Amino acid sequence: MRESIKIKTDNYNFKFRVSGIVINDNELLLVDMDDSGFLCLPGGYVELGETTEHAISREMEEELGYKLEIVKYLGVAENFFVNKYNRTMHEICFYYLLKPVNGENARYNDYSLMENDKGNNIKLDFKWININDLDDYDVRPKFLKRIVKNQPIIIDHIIFNELNED
């Protein structure tokens, strides 16, 4: 088993992740992890020695239970924020647009499951949210709503610092 790329210091936590954007009939697939109270994109940590392409394919199949293919690499975002545990975070996340390999195996309804992530059980509540209704939800990172509403979706390279917001 490889190690996830994350670093903890007294002042910051760093994580290197991947996130998948999956859209079906103008609905975006989001997840609430462990009843956090907010929604984010499915995905996870990149492991040491792993490409981001492999990481997104692995993470999505682990979380969703079916294979997805990469449609397009969308870009990378550097995000600075305070997490739900009140830790200051520095995150680098690669974003990919994905679609199910076999549409018949995909789930297009809301559902929950428990994921065993390296010995930790995590409750995942998946929700399909209409893109036009994203403003009604607490979606993180906060820039995601604006990006997904703009078609075509372009991330390229975003630096988003919630720590210095006015």
pLDDT, position 29? 96
Model pTM score: 0.89
Q: Structural domain tally of the chain?
A: 1
Domain assignment of residue 25, yes or no: yes
Which long-range contacts link 156-161 to residues 24+ away (Cβ below 8 Å)?
A: 156/74, 156/75, 157/75, 157/76, 157/77, 157/78, 158/75, 158/76, 158/77, 158/78, 158/79, 159/77, 159/78, 160/77, 160/78, 160/79, 160/80, 160/81, 161/79, 161/80
Domain assignment of residue 149, yes or no: yes
pLDDT, position 158? 83
Domain assignment of residue 82, yes or no: yes
pLDDT one-digit tens code per residue, 44-92: 999 999 999 999 999 999 888 889 999 999 999 999 988 878 889 999 9
Q: Which residue segment(s) compose the domain that 149 sits in? A: 6-164
CATH (domain of 80): 3.90.79.10
Domain assignment of residue 49, yes or no: yes
Domain assignment of residue 127, yes or no: yes
Domain assignment of residue 1, yes or no: no
Domain assignment of residue 110, yes or no: yes
